[in-house]
Structures are given as structure tokens and as C-alpha cells.
Amino acid sequence: MARIALVIGALAAIVYPIPLQLQGTTYYQTVGFLVLVNAMLGVGWNVIGGWAGQFDFGPQVFFAVGAYTSALLYVKLGVDAWLGLPVAVAAAALICAVLTYPLTRLRGHYFAISTVAIWMIAQPIGATWEYIGAAQGLFIPVKPRTGVLASALSLQFSGPTKAMGYYYAALVLFAVTLALMAVVERSKLGYYFRAIRDDQEAAEGIGIDSRLYKVIARSITAAVFAAAGVLYAFWALSVFPEQVLELNWSTLPIMATVVGGIGRLWGPVLGAVILIPISQIMSTTLGTGPLAGRGIDLIVYGLIIIVIAAFRPTGLLSLPWSRWFRPGPATA
């Protein structure tokens, strides 16, 4: 049953933008792009927050590192996005490891507060560092490309195919991230992460270096956020401190993970598929017109999250889906 659902979901994701492109509708393709980006971020955050059990409220710092690194490589050296992506991922993972190791002595809410402090420190750095554009940011120029293949290889789409091009780029990155995290979940790393989450003293008693594996878990999260930052930078064609360090780049993936099922591989995906379209629909219907500026969209969106969390605090994936969709009665 799970394999059938996976095949149906994959086919739906691949076909989704085609009828919209034929109709000339780009808005819902952009919504799909945001769903995939936030699902990817949620899968990445689930490593440190769900498997390792360390709540990280500042992963958007590494989203910014990825965006700035790729933008600088392109603007100053002419390095295309796909070539700059592994450099950005490596830079974010390295910076994360250096920053995180001293924090691994902290536990619980103290660790969470320290991650927020790093994010607060990053904001004035991004706003005042002249080399990365300071408050004025960086603008990514669009170079003319001949053909769809050239646009895909350079991650620069323009004209009527832009929305669909970035949707498929996000789909590829999301699929790669999900596959890699599935490998991590079943590997020794995944078992070590969950052992530290469940009982750190017991894990250390059998020889697991909790500080080392916390650093590894958060570095994996940082790498995923950096990759998403690269994609977002070339989609937006600009990188500003208040844009890439925005709080939503952490809160939305975290909410998607918790609503879908924290600690489960597919939890963030289900949460993003539900919450992100609702968020966009609320903002375009209740956040405009005579209701604009009153926050009605945010109130309704918040109530939906509260209801879901109250109804199923362990996440929607904990519902008995297999029993509901079983084709027939079980036989002995």
C-alpha cells in the first residue's frame, strides 16, 4: 500500500504543473514550488529536531549562507548555480560544525535559545557586511540562455517557463534530499541520533559520542537548508538579509514537521503539503480586499494548526492510515 501511495504521489508531483502551464497559470506552480522547498527544509530540520531530539530555531542562518555563497560565486566569479551548490552546502556544513560544537554542552531549552542567539547575531552581520552587499543585498543578473536544457543546467529560467522550471528544479532537489535522508535514517547515524534523543546518558554509556553526533546531525540540517537557499536565491534573483534570514524559513518547516509527524521521514512532507497551500490560500483570500491588514488570514491559519495539533499531537502520520485504506477485511 505504501509503495502504491508513493508511486501515485510521485506521478502527481511530476504531472502537476503541466496542465497549469498549458492554461498559463503560474500562481499555483509557485505554490507547488514553495511546498517542495518547505518540505525539503522540513525533512532537513527533522534530522536535528526529530531524530537527534535537539530543537534548532535558527537553521535559517544556513539557508542564508547557501543563498549568499551561490550568489557571490555567480556575481563575482561567474560560477553557475549547480556548480556553486556543493560549495554552498560544504560551507554551510563547515560553519555549522564550528558554531555547533561549543553548543553541544547545552541541553533542552538552553540549546534552543543558543540557536536563536546565533540567528540574532547573523542579522546585523548580514545588514552591515559590505562584501555581501550589506542592507542593499545582492542582485543576480539573468544571462540569456538558448533552450530549456541550457536554462536547466544554469538554473536560470525566464519568461513563461520560469515557474515550471523552478518547480521541477525544486522537485529534483527535494527527491534527492528525501532519498539521502532515507539512507541516513536506516544507517548507523540514524540509530545513533535516535539513541541520543531517547536517552543521552545511556547512549554515552555504550560508547556513542553525543557531542560529535549532535554536530553531525545539525551539519546535515545545515547542508539541506543551504541547498534550498541556493535554489531560492536564483528563483528570487536577489539576496537580502531580511529576506533569507526571515523567521518563516524556520517556523514553517518546523510546523510542517510537527503537524505531519516529527521524527518520521514523511512527516514534514505531509505537513508541508497541507499547511503551505492553506497559508497561501489564506493570504490571497482573507489577506486582501476589505480584510487586508487585519490579520484574519493569520488568525484562521493559526486556528487550523491548533486544531490539527490538538486533534493529533503526535502528527497526522500517526493516524491509522493503513487500516482505513485496507482493500478488504484481514484474513487469518
DSSP 236-258: HTEE-HHHHT-THHHHHHHHHHH
51 in Cβ contact with 240 (< 8 Å) = no
> What phi and psi, each to the nearest 5 degrees, are found at residue 268?
-60, -30
Kindly tell me the burial class for residue 97, based on how many C-beta atoms sit within 10 Å of its own C-beta (0-12, 13-18, 19 or more): middle
Cell of 325: 485504506
pLDDT at 332: 46
What residues are paired with 138 via a beta bridge? Answer: 239
Residue labelled with grid coordinates 487500516: 323
Region of 107 on the Ramachandran plot (φ > 0 left; ψ -120 to 50 alpha; else beta): beta
Sign of the dihedral through C-alpha 71, 77, 83, 86: negative
**322 vs 241, residue with greater confidence:** 241
Contact indicator for 83, 72 with CB cutoff of 8 Å: no
Nine-digit cell at 88? 554552498
Question: Residues 104-124: what's their mean pLDDT?
Answer: 93
What's the confidence (pLDDT) of residue 148? 82
- Which string of DSSP letters, residue by residue, matches 115-150? HHHHHHHHHHHHHH-GGGTGGG-EE-PPPP-SSHHH
The x, y and z cell numbers of residue 57, run together, are 530555531
Which whole number is the average pLDDT over 113-129? 95
Q: Per the structure block, which three cell numbers stand in for 149?
A: 536544457
179: CB partners within 8 A, 6+ apart = none
Is the predicted pLDDT of residue 330 greater than 70, yes or no? no
Q: What is the pTM of this model?
A: 0.92
123-141 tens-digit pLDDT: 999 999 999 999 999 999 9
Q: Which helix (H) or strand (E) holds 179?
A: helix 162-186
pLDDT per residue over 283-316, tens digit each? Answer: 777 666 665 656 676 777 788 878 887 887 788 8
Closest CA to 64 of 142, 141, 118: 118
Sign, CA dihedral 29-30-32-33, equals positive
Q: Where are the domains of the chain?
A: 2-324
The dihedral of CA 45, 60, 304, 109: what is its sign?
Answer: positive
CATH fold for domain 2-324: ABC transporter involved in vitamin B12 uptake, BtuC (1.10.3470)
Residue predicted with more confidence, 329 or 74: 74
The pLDDT tens digits for 29-60 are: 999 999 999 999 999 999 999 999 999 999 99
Mean pLDDT check: name the lowest of 39-48, 92-101, 255-264, 316-325.
316-325
